[in-house]
Chains A and B, each alone.
Chain A
Amino acid sequence: MRDSATSGDTVMMPDAALSPKLKSGGGPLPHLRPRSTEELAELLRHAPPTSTYRIVGAGSWPGIADRITANSLIDLSGLHGITEYVPGDLTLTARAGTPLSVIAATTAAHGQWLPLDPWGADDGTLGATLATASAGPLSASIGLPRDAALGITVVDAAGTIVTAGGRVVKNVAGFDLVRLHVGAWGTLGILCEVTVRLRPMPAADRTFAIALPRGARDLATLLSTMQRSSPAPLATELVNAPLAAAMGLPAVDTACVRWGGAAAAVMAAVDDLARTAHLVEIPTSAWAMLRSSEPHDATVVRYSTRPSELPVLWHAITHAAPSDARLHATVARGVVRVMASAEHQAQVIAATAPRQPAIIVERGFQLRRPPTAVDRLNQTIRGAHDPARRLNPGLMDHARA
């Protein structure tokens, strides 16, 4: 991939590990698989100073390895299992390598769930979900991954075990290291154990598809009607025609709306919307299909704007993206996710520039721009926690001057 200037001072760069001079000698990296927090701490305390680590949960995050320039690998799959679950408290503590599917099965037996639905499949781990703060469709109503985390145990680059937060649902004791580590991609320390807040599973959980043949125009109408919906939907995700087709729906721009709650309340909300829109009930499994719809060779970029501006942004993006690109939008947060080749992404970035959306590249390349005061603060934090950049080097360094 060539370096391509996009707009102003922002420059597209290939992912670090892909550039020939950084590519490690090939072959698998030395592979470490600690089976406890203490073992991991020990390992880091005694590691050779030149070792750098790629941290892996289930290894399911596509493409991320390309960005990390480490010379060894820490596999957290040995840290698995639920260590404490008190259904009456609606809290659960599990080791970082525990797959979400295991947590889902355990909690479902008590009518509870952990409403985190990161992009990808449910074999992703709890630790990775929080470390990446991957926010799926439910984030629009139930909150971001950071809102679910109550307490953590991490091991930092020097091999020190640090705990923060706790097992109670409300806690302001000390500076908030929980929020610091959630979304830090393991660069400040390795998440080993996490306590999360659970929710009662909604009595009724139903999903409907609403076709929007006129795209952005239909979207605007739908959004204004849905403002008043009570209960507010658990999720409203807009998918474009190719993605709808991949999910087994008619190939047309479609809004997928999910309501949860008391059966009567959901019924009332559905009836209300049905007065102005044509709703087709679809199975809840559609969400899993949506989340795992990402082509492995695609680059992924997220654009965000004011939710009220979403129809305009959606319009701009759908027109700039190739007709087979998959796109979807988390409506309540004003976020559009675009899966396409890097060249096409450059076109979309250029086409949306007048709307000035915030742009985050999930994978495939990086954007370099002049560092801001916030970037400098980020780098100070990175440097204070991992001065030698040993944990997931290459990540969270995008704006390093």
Chain B
Amino acid sequence: MLPVGVERELADIVGARFVLTRPGELLAYTADGLPGYRHDPALVVLPGNREEAIAVVQLLARRKVSFVPRGAGTGLSGGALADGTVVVGLNRMRRVLDIDVVNRWAVVEPGVVNAHLTRAVAPHGLHYAPDPSSQTACTIGGNVAENAGGPHCLKYGVTLNHVLALTVVLANGEVVTLGSTSGETEGYDLLGAFIGSEGCFGVVLDATVRLTANPPAVRTMLADFPSIDAAARATSAIIAAGLVPAALEMMDQPTIVAVEASIYAAGYPTDAAAVLLVELDGPDAGIDADVAAVERWCRDAGARDVRVATNELDRQRLWQGRKKAFGAMGRVSSHLVVQDAVIPRTRLPEVLGEIGRIGREEAVTVCNVFHAGDGNLHPNIPYNGNDPGEAARVERAMVRIMDACIAAGGSVTGEHGIGIDKLPYMPKLFSEASLAAMCRLRDCFDPERRLNPGKVVPVRSCKEWTMAPAARA
């Protein structure tokens, strides 16, 4: 329950149309990109600009109300869900505030859609490099909060490597600037600590992000393999050889079939056990030698065919298929689980083999579509949730797959975040002391723990951290 009058006071700030309280209108905000979790918010407020956003957060601070920032709600860990608290939607704040072509950075509001930023700077031959597959929908604010990655992060780095500065409103309503365009700041790397804090440290009001020059030459290759193992071996070989492709993505047969049935059909061979989508970019000089080398490594690993996109249209089609693959899986079955484990790249053949084995033993269909070059796996399992037996097998398979990845020296999330979905795995990765250290940091940003409560670190660990945050200097 919200304190009396909060709704009206919020309406005074943003206008009544942008405060939602009726059950029917809250329904759309009960889930993010992972609709297996549903939490009912008490209220949704949609500030339209920076001043409104600050006023909203300050009001919530005064009235001691917990809240959850939300971008486009494409998150895959349940991070943007609010359980009886307030959702602060940032989607209305979607202006590109400044584009500095010479110094190659842009200042954007948090609700700017990732792909729209690239569209805005394209006339200058620039782009925003982090390209999550959800880029046509997700927001920069959400990307910052999740430290989002994407296919091209293999060469260009993740969100962390592309954000120069942030203006943030903290839970107590204070506005701070973290980081700087030169990367020079006194004090701790608060910018680095903030990126990936999953909406628990503050609300992004604007982000200054690096822009990247479009490479003069790009070659996109599709390699077709008779087995997953062969594709995994090719991946390991390419990485170990020291060539850094711009992107190196893998899709297995069930994924290919789903994509080819969709509106984003890309002409992938449906009879291949797996394909690799490899992109090389850089200066014109030398690129074709690299293409030849990649082709050779693929063929050595057993590729049946390797083709290079013939033109820009062809290239975009190959990419669209990959980027919409997760969505395309909706057509396989009514339910879907998705994971985001990361493993050392040399372990790919072995772990993918193990995942296949687990799938067979539990009699579930695993669709693999993932950032192979980074070792960032996305084993997805479409299934019929109305069959309790199958649901139980899926649950078991998922835990076994995660355990296998952890055992291989990996992590449970490479880009989707912990949210609520991966909380149970945290104690498998970190000691109680390490989890308490995370809580300690969160308490520095939000001592009252009103921002996105219940996410990222299991509550148990935070409770055990009883020491009050040190007196503020």
Chain A residues packing against B (C-beta within 8 Å): 86-91, 111-112, 133, 135, 139, 143-144, 146-147, 156, 160-164, 166-180, 182-184, 188, 199-201, 227, 230-232, 261-265, 267-269, 302, 304-308, 333-335, 358, 360, 371-385, 387, 396, 398-401
Please tell me if the beta carbons of B441 and A306 are within 8 angstroms of each other in the complex. no
Please tell me if the beta carbons of B157 and A147 are within 8 angstroms of each other in the complex. yes
Given contacts A171-B411, A380-B444, contact A306 B181 (CB under 8 A): yes
Contacting A at CB under 8 A, from B171-218, are: 174-178, 180-193, 195-197, 200-201, 213, 215-216
Q: Which residues of B contact A146 (CB under 8 A)?
A: 189, 192
Interface residue from A173, A230, A304, A380 paired with B180 (Cβ < 8 Å): A304
How far is the CB of B372 from the nearest CB of chain A, in Å?
Answer: 12
Per DSSP, chain A at the interface is mixed
Given contacts A133-B189, A179-B192, A380-B472, contact A170 B376 (CB under 8 A): yes
How far is the CB of B340 from the nearest CB of chain A, in Å?
Answer: 9
Binds A, one of B298-306, B354-362, B425-433: B425-433
CA distance A371 to B191 in the complex (A): 18
Chain B residues packing against A (C-beta within 8 Å): 100, 102-103, 146-147, 149, 153, 157-158, 160-161, 170, 174-178, 180-193, 195-197, 200-201, 213, 215-216, 236, 239-240, 242-244, 282-286, 289-290, 342-346, 371, 374-376, 409-418, 422, 425-426, 429-431, 433-435, 437-438, 440-445, 456-457, 469-473
Closest B residue to A161 by beta carbon equals B433
Interface residue from A166, A188, A262, A382 paired with B429 (Cβ < 8 Å): A166
Please tell me if the beta carbons of B413 and A261 are within 8 angstroms of each other in the complex. no
Please tell me if the beta carbons of A172 and B282 are within 8 angstroms of each other in the complex. no
Interface residue from A169, A200, A230 paired with B216 (Cβ < 8 Å): A230
Please tell me if the beta carbons of B414 and A374 are within 8 angstroms of each other in the complex. no
Please tell me if the beta carbons of A180 and B188 are within 8 angstroms of each other in the complex. yes
How far is the CB of A181 from the nearest CB of chain B, in Å?
Answer: 9
Please tell me if the beta carbons of A168 and B410 are within 8 angstroms of each other in the complex. yes
Please tell me if the beta carbons of A335 and B414 are within 8 angstroms of each other in the complex. no
Q: Which residues of A contact B426 (CB under 8 A)?
A: 173-174
CA distance A139 to B183 in the complex (A): 10
Q: Which residues of A contact B215 (CB under 8 A)?
A: 230
CA distance A161 to B215 in the complex (A): 44
Please tell me if the beta carbons of B196 and A111 are within 8 angstroms of each other in the complex. no
Given contacts A175-B457, A182-B192, A374-B178, contact A164 B470 (CB under 8 A): no
Given contacts A168-B375, A173-B411, contact A200 B244 (CB under 8 A): yes
CA distance A174 to B200 in the complex (A): 11
6 closest residue pairs by CB, A with B: A179-B192, A383-B470, A200-B242, A379-B473, A262-B286, A304-B182
CA distance A133 to B437 in the complex (A): 21
Closest B residue to A168 by beta carbon equals B342
Q: Which residues of A contact B343 (CB under 8 A)?
A: 168
How far is the CB of A160 from the nearest CB of chain B, in Å?
Answer: 5
CA distance A86 to B412 in the complex (A): 21
CA distance A333 to B342 in the complex (A): 32
Interface residue from B239, B434, B438 paired with A90 (Cβ < 8 Å): B239
Q: Which residues of A contact B244 (CB under 8 A)?
A: 199-200
CA distance A177 to B410 in the complex (A): 17
How far is the CB of B90 from the nearest CB of chain A, in Å?
Answer: 20
How far is the CB of A384 from the nearest CB of chain B, in Å?
Answer: 5
How far is the CB of A205 from the nearest CB of chain B, in Å?
Answer: 13
Given contacts A173-B412, A373-B174, A374-B177, contact A135 B473 (CB under 8 A): no
Closest A residue to B191 by beta carbon equals A179
Q: Which residues of B contact A268 (CB under 8 A)?
A: 283-285
How far is the CB of A21 from the nearest CB of chain B, in Å?
Answer: 22
Q: Which residues of B contact A167 (CB under 8 A)?
A: 344, 409
Closest A residue to B240 by beta carbon equals A88
How far is the CB of A327 from the nearest CB of chain B, in Å?
Answer: 16
How far is the CB of A42 from the nearest CB of chain B, in Å?
Answer: 14
Please tell me if the beta carbons of A88 and B346 are within 8 angstroms of each other in the complex. yes
Please tell me if the beta carbons of A304 and B184 are within 8 angstroms of each other in the complex. yes
How far is the CB of A262 from the nearest CB of chain B, in Å?
Answer: 4
CA distance A33 to B160 in the complex (A): 35
Interface residue from A169, A188, A379 paired with B374 (Cβ < 8 Å): A169
How far is the CB of A150 from the nearest CB of chain B, in Å?
Answer: 10
